[in-house]
Amino acid sequence: MLNKKMNEALNEQIEEESSADEIVQQLKMMENTPGGMFMLDRELGQRVFTPPATEGE
pLDDT given for residue 24 in this prediction:
94
pLDDT per residue over 14-37, tens digit each? 999 999 999 999 999 998 888 999
Pair 30, 36: CB distance under 8 Å: yes
- pTM for the whole thing? 0.68
Torsional class of 13: left (φ above 0), alpha (ψ -120 to 50), beta (otherwise): alpha
Question: What phi and psi values does residue 18 have, to the nearest 5 degrees?
Answer: -65, -45
Amino acid, single-letter form, for residue 4:
K
**Angstrom distance (rounded) from CA 57 to CA 37:** 38
Q: Where are the domains of the chain?
A: 2-45
Q: Write the CA distances from 20 to 3, 13, 26, 54, 57, integer angstroms.
A: 26, 11, 10, 24, 27
